[in-house]
Every structure is written in C-alpha cells, then in structure tokens.
Structure 1
Amino acid sequence: MPLSRFESLKNYLNLVILGQPCLTENLLIALLADGHLLVEGPPGLAKTRAVKALCDGVEGDFHRIQFTPDLLPADLTGTDIYRAQTATFEFEAGPIFHNLILADEINRAPAKVQSALLEAMAEGQVTVGKNSYQLPELFLVMATQNPLENEGTYPLPEAQLDRFLMHLNLDYPSAETELEILRLSRNEAMTKTMPQIENLSQEEIFAARNEALQLYLAEPLENYIVDIVMATRQTHKYSDELAKWLDYGVSPRATQSIERCARARAWLHNRDFVSPEDIQAVTPNVLRHRLLLSYQAQAEGISRDDVIHHILSLVAVP
C-alpha cells in the first residue's frame, strides 16, 4: 500500500484547511483507525470545511446532517413506508446509510436521536421496528459541536462520547494564518473553484488499515498503554492530586483506541513499529472526552488536558 496516496491527501487537506496541521493529521488517523471523530471549537474555525474536504478526497457516499432540536430518529435512520399497491411496508433508508457522515452541531439533537446514532456508531447497524439493517463497511461519523452556545443544546451522554475514537479541540489561528485564510477565501470566491484531488478508493483504505494493524508493538509498550489507562482508575496509586481531580476513569475502549491511533500515526510517519512518542501524541485526543472530572477539579480550574498531561508525567515510559 503506497503511503504516497495518503501523503497526497494530507497535503490536499493542509492546502484547503490552513493553520490546522494537527486536525488534518488526526482526520487521517481516524480514517485509518476505523473510528469516529468529534471536533469541537468556536464557530468559524472550518470544522465543517475540514470534514467536507476529507470526504472530497475519499471514495464513498457523503451526507451532511444538520442536527436540530426537532430532529427525529427516523430522519436519521429511515423508516418503514406503506406501499398501497402491494399492501406491504417497505424500508426507506435514511442518510445514516452513507459511508461518510457529517453530524453538524451534534449536541443540538435530542436524546432519542442521539440513541439512534449511538447504535449506528457502536454496532454498525440501525434498528427500525423489528428489523436491523447493516451499515456500509466504510462508515465514519465525524461530528462537530460548538462549545460557546448552551441554549438549545443537549450534552452528549458519556456512553455516546465513549463511542468516539477521538475528541479534537480547535483554537483560533495566528495572525499570519488568518491573513492566509482571508486571501484563500477571496481567491475561491473569485474563481468559484476548489483544489482537486484523486480520491482514495475504499480498497486502499482497507489495505492501509490492515498494514497499520500489522505494525510491531513491543510488549513493554502494550503495558505502557495499559498503565496510562489504569492511572485514570487507580488514581490513589499515582498521586493525591490525581485522586482529587478524577471521579471516574476511562473504559477498556480507551485502551483499544490508544493502540489503534498509535498504530495509525506510526504508519502515517512511515515506520514499521509503534514508538512511545506515537502513544503520547494520541493519548490526549483519545482520553479527553472520556474523563469525568470531580467538582474540586472544576472549582480549581483544572482541565481534562491538565489531567492527561499529569498522567503522562507520572507513568514511566519503557
């Protein structure tokens, strides 16, 4: 599997999305690790544009779903339609049956819609009535949410957050990047065109996933991943601060996600083995949405990123 095809896609993303190299790399990591992605940041930071750009570079059906408070589960999954000609019900598939889903402002959807999406993300299927329907083999949900608006939003439950492979936090660009963005938007408005790229086929994506799974991961590094996860659960064994800051640790799904993401990052960096740096690089994005901070941590202004960096400083590197 030629790495150059993914490098071309990464270059395309960096050309379309300015000043967000971490975002573009993690989009590819999510694609390689076969996981779903939650992107959070203030409005106007090209969250939707980044996801759409990834979809433009990948072979498959794409659909954008704008989540609103009046959205119904059937608007997502589809529903049984009665056909008078045959006096039978026929299933009409909803937008969730596309390969790449952009769930825009996911936290604006009510609980029933989030539950329907939860089954799709966790099981790769949806259930309508008495029947279950399998989703495509290439199925990737990329969700965005705005942290600045709380009115009319529904916080995602921990069970659904755990289904996301990674949670990316975006920040405002520098002044230099802002100027580049200004010029890029003006040029696109004048030419009415976007850069073009040859799409990655689904076969290429599946082959790359298999190659990433075959990378060498030493047993001490497997233990290192487990130790990081255990530090979120057995906090008293590591530090008093950690015990005060965390109410609950992360699930075994976090362990698996760290490994898959570390493998994907190593593959993208053209290495045939996973290094401690790969694990440390992906851990914040994998754990950020899974940690449940205590009231004391919130009162002291301790963020999840602060806790994660503290954990990484405590756990010995092999």
Structure 2
Amino acid sequence: MSSSNQTLVTYFILSGISNVPELQLPIFLVVLLTYLVTLWGNMTIFLLVCLDRHLHTPMYFFLCNLSILDMSSSTITMHRIFFSFLTGDTTISFFACLAQMYIFASLTTDELLLLTIMSYDRYMAICSPLRYHTVMSLKFCSKLTAICWAIGFIQVLPLVVMLSSITCFKSIEINHFFCDIMPLIALPCGDISALELFNFVNGLILAVLPFFLTFIPYIFIVNAILKIRSSTGRRKTFYTCSSHLTVIILLYTSLVCQYLQPGSTTSKASSKLYSLFNTAAVPLLNPLIYSLKNKDVKEALKRRRRLLS
C-alpha cells in the first residue's frame, strides 16, 4: 500500500521470522517445543508455589507472578507463529494487531517492575532480616504486585489510542513475527514524531528507570555480603539472590539487543532473532534458573513426587 492511498487499513501482513520456505518447518518445530517446555516449566513453578506451604513467602509469591507473566507473554506472541504455519494466513486484523502490541508491551513492563520489587525483597531479606517479615507481609506484597500490573496495563493505552486513530500507513506489511511497538510505529504516513517521542519517554520511565531501581539494592547487598567474615557465609548469602540477578541480566540484555538496533535491513533481521529469544527463550530459562539453583524449589518438587507416588 503506497503512502498516497489513504484508505482505511483493516489488516496487516506479518512477514514472520524467516522468508525461506525450507526453514518454516524447523522453525515451527523449535518454537513449538520451546513453547511447550515454557508452559510446563512455568506452570510447575506456579503450582508448586500455590500448593506447597513452605513456599508461601514473599519471594515465591513474586516468582509465581513472574511465571504467570512469562506464560502470558510467550502465548501472546507465539500463537501467531503457530496460526500462520498451520493455516498459511499471515494476516492479522488492525485491532487484533493493536491488542497484541498492547498486551505484550504491558506484560513486558509488568515484568520489569516485578523484577524491581523482587530486588528490594532480596535487599530486605539480606540487609534488614529482622524487619523482613514485618515489612514484606503478604498484604503489602499483594498491593505492590497489583500496582505493577495496573501500571503495566495503563502505560501503553495512550499509544494504542494514537495508533487506532491513524488511517494512512506507508505499508501494510510488518517486518516481524508479531505486532511489536517499534515496527508498528514506523508504518504511519507523515509525521510520526509524536509517536516516537511518546515511545521514547515511556521507555525512559518504564524501562530505564526500573533498570536503575533494580540494581541500586544490589549495591547495598554486595556491601553487606563483603562485610560477612566467613567465606561460606558470603557464598550462602549471595546464593539467595543469584537466581534473581541472573534473570535480571538475561532479560535486560535481550531487551537492549532487541530494541537498541540501527535501522538497517541486517539489523532488523537480527532484531527479530533477539525478539524471538526474548519472547521464547527467556520465559523458558526463568523457571530453569530458579529450579536448578534453588534448594527450596527442588525440595518442594521432591515433596510433590512423594505425595504422588
């Protein structure tokens, strides 16, 4: 669709992960396997936290919410790959595209904010252990989590409203496998500076700010660890937050690679690969990191197996 044709756009065409026909089946199988393992891993964490009273603590309450976010963000993006492969239909309606962008962006923000709260939970547990259970009560944690979910689903609404009012697009093809923000806001005809400015400010507030707020507690955590005289004590204390720190580094690294890319064709192709890693691999790795490195989770799994045997 040319920029001169200003008819109402009712659908977009998703280019997918790769245009090479020979790669479609291998990609579908890899993504499907990754998605199924992601659901299995995160659902296991979710059920363990809900069913095992030993995991009814603030840390695992937040981890339970993280599992919900990972399953949701993976589903909202991966289902388009499955649908397109099985039906051959690569189109998506205009409003379905906006809905997918809105939900994915909201869930991503929710996850960044949740990881920020989890870093302060680790700070309280290590630096103020005597006040931990008083401050980090279930009621307080529930309120913090509810605020995170609310902010995530409110902050993208203005961008959705702005995009929904646009009728002229330079192209109806989105060079991506789902409706992500960056490829979508580049399509409207004319001046898109307002969209870009809003997206920049929004990202600055809800991505860069949480990044700093997430890592500030670790300055105090590291300082507290260094004051521990016993090397065994230092390792044990660091072990309690190593899983969370690993997840933070993994997520922010994938987001930087995905969105801070120049606008060349090669960079757009690599951006899709980073996006696939962020939407498929990261939700898969999160439960593995927490289960493999976490003694409480492994013991909870053993208790469940004994009950089922």
Q: Which has the higher contact order (CA 8 A, sep 6+)?
A: 2
Higher helix share: 2
Q: TM-score range by the shorter chain?
A: under 0.3
Higher strand share: 1
TM-score, normalised by the number of residues in structure 2: 0.23
TM-score, normalised by the number of residues in structure 1: 0.22
